[in-house]
Amino acid sequence: MTPLPFTKLPLAPELQATLSDLGYHTMTPVQAQSLPQVLAGRDIIAQAKTGSGKTAAFGLGLLAKLEVKRFCVQSLVLCPTRELADQVANEIRKLARGIHNIKVLTLCGGQPFGPQLGSLEHGAHIIVGTPGRVEEHLRKASLSLAQVDTLVLDEADRMLEMGFQASLDAIVEQTPAKRQTLLFSATYPTQIEAIAQRILREPVRVEVEEQHNADSIEQHFYNINDEAQRLLATRLLLLQFSPESAMVFANTKKEVQELCDTLCAHGFSAAALHGDMEQRDRDQTLIQFGNKSVSILVATDVAARGLDISAVDLVINYHLARDSEVHVHRVGRTGRGGSRGIACSLFSDKEHYKLMLLQDYLGHDIAGETLPDESILRKPPRQAAMTTLQIDGGKKQKIRPGDILGALTGEGGIDGDQVGKINMAPMRSYVAVKREVAKKALKILNEGKLKGRSCRARIISQR
């Protein structure tokens, strides 16, 4: 099918100009199928996975109908996690940058309530948030949805899995009955069908095939004897494939933390991501993994979907997922965008039932392979290419990524190609630099100035 250009859509010139500036020339399949319907005002049920371009699909839709001079909440986007909400809000801001005075506000748990109250008092056009925190603002009457004309449920299945059904119902009740509702979900379980029937009006159904096919992912399965061999197998596979970027999935928070600690003790560059972590630690972990300061992310299934993590070379299922669809989501973290990926799954005889279910789901038998020889344990683990520096100054101090890059690459500084991703937060900033120049970069930042003021910097160590 020939890709359709965005210029075929009835979008305002400023939106078309922004799309061109961003290099968005042709639509992804989910955009091509859903955007014309969204712009026509239809309700949508779109089954599409992370990385399919769905954020731009609904983002352009809500921006196209937004009235800037009507300063009230006109669109509400609900996401299962703060990380996804932040990514969605940032993408909408990018798409809206050609339209003056559009305010996008995030309302998520794990953040202080007070500053959100202050931001709401100043008003917003678009709210992006998590169900729990949005519902809390509604209860306290600090947020009104009376003027909302577009409601978006992003990763709706994940929100239901996380127990947000009651919150979603309470929020929907506060929105006008006459509104456009856009529901995006990676899967389409019975719960989604039920909620769609309740809150959508004659929806158009959009279903998009995977962005990668099975040929792009090389899957391996290994039968292990006990938990000790499970840990050894993980080390052997990480050494054998030596990935620049890998995700290891375990089923419980305790397993994630213990596995991460053990890998670090054996010299691997690893970090954990699970629900018991403080929000700041979760944010820093994702920043370090995303900017190549950490090579291995050990995670529960909260990281399987809804996070903007790309270019993962290797996925290891430390245990088989409890659900076969979850297995596919985990494995789908690799082999994206036309690149090849590797997925390795470990299973014991006790997991025979899950293995049988997975065989039925995949439609073929699964045979255990032989693990790499233990002589590979003499090989040193691959180290992360980058190091992350945290700067005690951010958006509130009017610091921009260009200020940080300029400070690092000025006279006597480091080369521009030694600087990686720069992440900005309200009160701090993060910059990735090549490991070999980390100490020099730290000295430059601590001895120099940003926006005319001194800002303390430090190296974020791997935990």
Whether residue 406 is predicted with pLDDT greater than 70 in this model: the reply is yes
**Is the pTM higher than 0.85?**
no
Topology match between the domains 6-207 and 214-378: yes
pLDDT at 306: 61
pLDDT tens string 24-48: 999 988 899 999 999 999 999 998 7
pLDDT at 310: 65
pLDDT at 451: 80
Whether residue 462 is predicted with pLDDT greater than 90 in this model: the reply is no
DSSP, residue by residue, 85-120: HHHHHHHHHHHTTTSTT--EEEE-TTS-HHHHHHHH
**What would be the CATH architecture of the domain defined by 214-378?**
3-Layer(aba) Sandwich (3.40)
pLDDT tens string 385-394: 999 999 999 8
pLDDT at 335: 78
What is the mean predicted confidence (pLDDT) over 361-368? 88
Report d(CA 402, CA 59) in Å as an integer.
26
pLDDT at 247: 95
Report d(CA 82, CA 54) in Å as an integer.
17
Q: What is the DSSP letter of 312?
A: B
Report d(CA 198, CA 258) in Å as an integer.
43
Structure-token match 């909620």, residue found: 195
Number of other CB atoms surrounding residue 109 within 10 Å: 16
pLDDT at 211: 47
Order of all β-strands in the sheet with 429-434: 419-424, 429-434, 386-391, 457-459
Whether residue 127 is predicted with pLDDT greater than 80 in this model: the reply is yes
DSSP, residue by residue, 293-355: S-SEEEE-GGGTSSS----B-EEEESS--SSHHHHHHHHTTBS-TT--EEEEEEE-GGGHHHH
Whether residue 81 is predicted with pLDDT greater than 90 in this model: the reply is no
CATH superfamily of domain region 6-207: P-loop containing nucleotide triphosphate hydrolases (3.40.50.300)
Report d(CA 219, CA 82) in Å as an integer.
31
Whether residue 79 is predicted with pLDDT greater than 60 in this model: the reply is yes
Boundaries of every domain in the chain: 6-207, 214-378, 386-459
Q: Judging by DSSP bridges, how do beta strands 429-434 and 419-424 pair with one another?
A: antiparallel
Number of other CB atoms surrounding residue 149 within 10 Å: 19
**How many residues comprise the chain?**
463
pLDDT tens string 412-460: 888 888 988 888 888 999 999 999 999 999 999 999 888 888 889 999 9
Whether residue 271 is predicted with pLDDT greater than 80 in this model: the reply is yes
Return the CATH class of domain 386-459.
alpha beta
Q: Which two structure tokens, joined as six digits, stand for 25?
A: 């020339």
Q: Which two structure tokens, joined as six digits, stand for 201?
A: 């009006």
Residues 6 or more apart whose CB falls under 8 angstroms from that of 255 comprise 318, 319
Structure-token match 């190296």, residue found: 459
Q: What is the DSSP letter of 334?
A: B
Report d(CA 268, CA 262) in Å as an integer.
9
What are the φ/ψ torsions at residue 189 (nearest 5 degrees)? -70, 175
Q: Which two structure tokens, joined as six digits, stand for 324?
A: 């076969």
